Amino acid sequence: MMKRTSMLAAVAVVAVVEMTWCGTSQAALIDVAASASSTYSQGVANPSDAVNGVGLTGGTTHSTDYQSGWLGAASLVNAQFFVIDLKQNYLLDATSSLKFWNGKYSTGNDGFRKVKFWLSNDGTNWTDVTSTTTIRDSANSIVSLMPKGTGAGFDGTVSFGANSKARYIKIEADGASGAGNYSGDRLALSEIQAFGTATGSNPTLSNRITTITATGSGVNYSTTSPTYAVNGTGLTGVGDQHKGNYDQGTWLVQNTQTASLDINLASQKTIQGLKIWNLCGNIALGPNDISETNDGMKTIDIFVSNDGATWNQVFDNLTLPMGDETPNASGKYYDSPFVLDTRSIAGQWQYVRISNVGNTNPNYSGPHVGLSEVQVFSTFTAPVPEPATMAFLALGGLTMMGAAIRRRRTA
């Protein structure tokens, strides 16, 4: 049984002093990951293809081959989006936060045209920054639309307002205008690069709960198990790297797009943070494979319980980024986690349920569903602001946020 509760908690959002640039030079190019609202075909024209430089020649000209960039699903142009994960919080370059090569196949008609820009620190709560964002064409002239892909070099840049900080950047086709692209039947992006300076504003999760077991709904793929999603089997032991293979140390439920993973912490404990590795791909097919990352959970709800029968919903409609396969120095591909601040969960709890049952977009369109790994922490430490930032906080920079349970539903 699910029940609606009224657990309210205040979370302080603090500003952090960022590093500064020398002179007016552009900030550093950021190693990024990417996800999108849809993809043309499994294993072809994936979001990762628009950020890994596979179509770039000499760092300037991009291939017109649609497979060397991202291409969305047909007839889903407006309100589609492309998300860039900077992997940590950055102060974005006010001169040129993004450099892009718009979609150039289909004579460029599939490229982004009228768009909205969003920033987020957690991939869940988004701020519309369209009104303070500036688009420039390749000649550095301010324009109101994303310039059409030309095939003759980069097409433009995007800069955000002063002191913009974020981990996630979303570019959304403006569905309200009906002109999200240049009249093509899909949405496309050839390449995009992000520039910024790390702010050091990333949280620290500690006191990981290790007395942990898990069960899941549905029929498991033969070499996977709910247990593998919580016991670290798939982790490499180097930082937060997962092995990056969907059938090694993961949980995958066959022939369904919806499922729930129930985690048992053995006793009642404080839950302040989660690390969630979404389902990774088929390592044999390399970083561009999404034949399995499409099975990752997309929209989830989180519940807690003390008896495994009566569940209290604490998060509603969270969006998990698609599994990120990033090459290391040895050329092997690994998956990295999504970090969730759960300090809004009051009290102590023994069970945690991660579920995508009943959501409109439960997974990334694959035929199955699963997760690679979940870790639960009892301590979440926010960054401590520098003395110079304290003055800013005293002037109103401290914002209190309430997280409340919004609906009741039986899973």
Total number of residues shown for the chain: 411
| Whether 232 contacts 374, CB under 8 Å | no
- Which class is 2-11+203-381 in CATH? mainly beta
- The yes-or-no verdict on residue 122 having pLDDT over 50 is yes
Neighbours of 128 (CB within 10 A): 13
pLDDT digits (tens, 9 = 90+) for 142-200: 999 999 988 778 899 999 987 788 889 999 988 665 577 777 778 889 999 998 877 76
Report the pLDDT value the prediction gives residue 27, as an integer from 0 to 100: 67
- Give the rounded percent of residues in the chain with a pLDDT score beyond 90: 35
Q: In 3D, which of 52, 53, 50 has the Cα closest to residue 39?
A: 50
Report the pLDDT value the prediction gives residue 82, as an integer from 0 to 100: 93
| Whether 296 contacts 323, CB under 8 Å | yes
Q: Name the strand (E) or helix (H) holding 387.
A: helix 387-392
Report the pLDDT value the prediction gives residue 351, as an integer from 0 to 100: 98
pLDDT digits (tens, 9 = 90+) for 71-88: 887 766 667 899 999 888
Q: In 3D, which of 339, 306, 89, 67 has the Cα closest to residue 198?
A: 89
Report the pLDDT value the prediction gives residue 315, as an integer from 0 to 100: 93
Identify the residue with better confidence: 210 or 366: 210
What's the per-residue H, E or C state across 289-303? CCCCHHHEECEEEEE
User: For the chain, what is the radius of gyration of the CA atoms?
Assistant: 21
- Parts of the chain belonging to CATH 2.60.120.260: 2-11+203-381, 17-198
- Average of per-residue pLDDT values in the chain: 78
What is d(CA 127, CA 120) in angstroms, rounded to the nearest whole number?
6
Identify the residue with better confidence: 169 or 323: 169
Give the residue-averaged pLDDT of 201-209: 81
Q: In 3D, which of 222, 188, 14, 56 has the Cα closest to residue 112?
A: 188
- Give the rounded percent of residues in the chain with a pLDDT score beyond 70: 76
**Residue with token string 């790390």:** 198
- The yes-or-no verdict on residue 39 having pLDDT over 70 is yes
Of 68-72, 110-114, 285-289, 389-393, the poorest mean pLDDT is in 389-393
Give the residue-averaged pLDDT of 296-312: 95
Q: Look up residue 194 and give its amino acid.
A: A
- Which class is 17-198 in CATH? mainly beta
Tell me the pLDDT band of 409, cut-offs 50, 70 and 90. very low
CA distances from 251 to 338, 344, 345 (A): 16, 27, 25
What is d(CA 52, CA 288) in angstroms, rounded to the nearest whole number?
9
Task: For residue 101, report the phi and psi dihedrals to the nearest 5 degrees.
Answer: -115, 105
pLDDT digits (tens, 9 = 90+) for 339-391: 888 999 999 999 999 999 988 889 888 889 999 999 999 998 876 544 444 44
* DSSP one-letter string for 33-84: EEEES--SBTTBS-GGGGTS-TTEETTTEE---GGGSEE--TT--TT-EEEE
- The yes-or-no verdict on residue 16 having pLDDT over 70 is no
Give the residue-averaged pLDDT of 324-328: 54
Report the pLDDT value the prediction gives residue 374, as an integer from 0 to 100: 96
Tokens representing residue 157 in the block = 């840049």
- The yes-or-no verdict on residue 140 having pLDDT over 70 is yes
pTM of the shown model:
0.57
Neighbours of 331 (CB within 10 A): 8
Report the pLDDT value the prediction gives residue 377, as an integer from 0 to 100: 97
Q: In 3D, which of 156, 194, 174, 220 has the Cα closest to residue 50?
A: 194
Dihedral over Cα of 21, 26, 30, 34: its sign: positive
Report the pLDDT value the prediction gives residue 385, as an integer from 0 to 100: 47
Report the pLDDT value the prediction gives residue 72, as an integer from 0 to 100: 85
Neighbours of 335 (CB within 10 A): 30
- The yes-or-no verdict on residue 274 having pLDDT over 90 is yes
Across the chain, which distance is largest between two alpha carbons, in Å? 63
Report the pLDDT value the prediction gives residue 90, as an integer from 0 to 100: 86
Report the pLDDT value the prediction gives residue 287, as an integer from 0 to 100: 47
SS3 category, 99: strand
SS3 category, 198: strand
CA distances from 405 to 9, 33, 319, 402 (A): 11, 31, 17, 10
CA distances from 27 to 30, 93, 170, 326, 366 (A): 9, 6, 20, 22, 37
Q: In what order do the strands lie in the sheet with 213-216?
A: 2-3, 311-319, 299-305, 349-355, 260-269, 213-216
